Chains A and B, each alone.
Chain A
């Protein structure tokens, strides 16, 4: 039991050090030697847990995905209308990204590895599935226009969100991410929402945006 705890603690130190370095100088410029030094461990200790830089990256990405999905699932399991949950969880994920270095770094690393990493592909697929589920429920609630292709809408939303994160690099103020996210919804809502539900949803967005120091566009 003690051995397990120590082993887990070591793994944690390696991951934390990796996240720090990836965020400081980027994935490519970080070597395993750098990580060993930052974590104040031996090469042996590192190799016991991770056989390559790629497997380390995968672990960081996996943890990020787990936290993001956890955030989304918690909100989407509350007894509120699906469309509200979708909007609210997008802001909650943006909150997570701006406040948690490991999540922010995981997304950054995922972007770099892209098609070369299985975990990344799975994570994006998982995110899409979550969004499609919510959109389907939102349609049943009467909040979406009927006969919208939920796959396409989900892809568009995810792409826009990832794009917002890409544009909001590590040097940007976190307010930029919330502004971009608000804009995404400003533009998407009229396109996908049921006309009768739209005024309410726009107010819901407006209140959410305000809580993050943003104002919505006055579109007509």
Chain B
């Protein structure tokens, strides 16, 4: 517990914890206040409504994801390797971090308003496409593979796997992700690099499963 956290940060943390474990409609601002140990006044100063708070959580998580992606890009591995790393990094956050977990539930609950869900996913596809283009330049993609198509597929695969998996079963979720990657790789990776990337994906998933098993 950091005592130097601002009231806003405390509210966000408490809200993330609440929304991570209970559905949006069942959580009240009072529940969050109680956990954050703040006054109603402090809450309303920062957030006028549950909806506004939910939006703030989604935005905060978006930023964290952007930072994760940028950090991994800064590692300067190849484009495709970076995409695998990004996918598994975000997946690990999905199962261990309250903010990530809550963001998923909140997007389901309020994602239709202002097309938040659609916009976010499009942003992702755009970001991924830049990286996939690099992968093409580096010669890792098959000649026939279109970077934008590949990116859309990967984002859909990641988001979809998340939907169909029980996130409480961490290892299983990550294994699903691994199997998905192994299935789609032959669809767009150059044939002579397939073996390498299959191993790369398996190695990443092994580390990821072990890491989340420890939390």
Contacts and interface: CB of A to CB of B under 8 A. Distances in A.
Contacts of A211: 76, 78
A146 B28 CA distance: 55
Interface stretch (A72-80, A151-159, A182-190): A72-80
Nearest to B85: A80
B207 A88 contact: no
B53 to A, nearest CB: 30
Interface in A78-103: 78-81, 84, 88, 92
Nearest to A77: B71
Interface residues of B, number: 19
A81 B207 contact: yes
B49 interface: no
A111 interface: no
A55 interface: no
Q: Chain A interface mostly helix, strand, loop or mixed? A: helix
Contacts of A203: 196
Contact of B75 (A88, A200, A207): A88
A207 B196 CA distance: 11
Nearest to A85: B75
Given A200-B196, A200-B203, A79 B77 contact: no
Contacts of B211: 79
Given A80-B85, A80-B207, A92 B196 contact: no
Contacts of A78: 71-72, 75, 85, 89
B92 interface: yes
A79 B196 contact: no
Contacts of B92: 79
Contact of A79 (B76, B199, B208): B208
Contacts of B181: none
Interface of B: 71-72, 75-78, 85, 88-89, 92, 196, 199-200, 203-204, 206-208, 211
Interface of A: 74-75, 78-81, 84, 88, 92, 141, 200, 203, 207, 211
26 contacts: A74-B75, A78-B71, A78-B85, A78-B89, A79-B85, A79-B88, A79-B89, A79-B204, A79-B207, A79-B211, A80-B204, A81-B203, A81-B206, A81-B207, A88-B75, A92-B76, A141-B203, A141-B206, A141-B207, A200-B196, A200-B199, A200-B203, A203-B196, A207-B78, A211-B76, A211-B78
The 8 A-B residue pairs with the shortest CB-CB distance in the complex, in nearest-first order: A200-B199, A203-B196, A81-B203, A79-B207, A79-B211, A81-B207, A79-B208, A79-B89
